[in-house]
Amino acid sequence: MRVLSGCLFFLLSISIAAQTTTPTPELDFRIKKHYTDAQIAEITLKHPAKIKQLNFYFRKSYVILGPKKCETIDLEKFDVMDYETYRKMDERVIVGLSREGHILELLSIKELQEIYKDL
């Protein structure tokens, strides 16, 4: 009976631990383009909030405005890192993207810093 209750306690503790562990967020595919597997592993282990920040950066640190169809740029695979040199500290920046009339609006660095605090 003691062995059975010990096994039940062990299984229960594993179940509770599994429920309380925060799942690692899915990585945006562009993170893998700019970081090595070793860097990603280290960030995930030592700075898990940084993964959320990187996901936000590659997915939402900008707005693309214009028609839905774009022959010049693949909007699904758009990489904001290519436009990072335009980003400013205190103001949003607008950059022309395509001949179809798409524009890129980059959030300011200060906006990103405030958002990152809440992630």
Higher local confidence (pLDDT), 82 or 9: 82
In this predicted model, what pLDDT tens digit does every residue of 54-76 receive, in sequence order?
Answer: 999 999 999 998 887 777 778 77
Q: Of 63, 70, 65, which is closest to residue 87 (Cα–Cα)?
A: 63
- Amino acid type, 31: I
Task: Locate 12 and state its tokens.
Answer: 């229960």
Residue keyed to tokens 């939402």: 60
Task: Locate 22 and state its tokens.
Answer: 């925060």
CA distance 110 to 92: 10
When pLDDT is cut at 50, 70 and 90, the band that residue 8 belongs to is very low
pLDDT of residue 38: 95
Helices (H), 21-96: 29-34, 37-46, 48-60
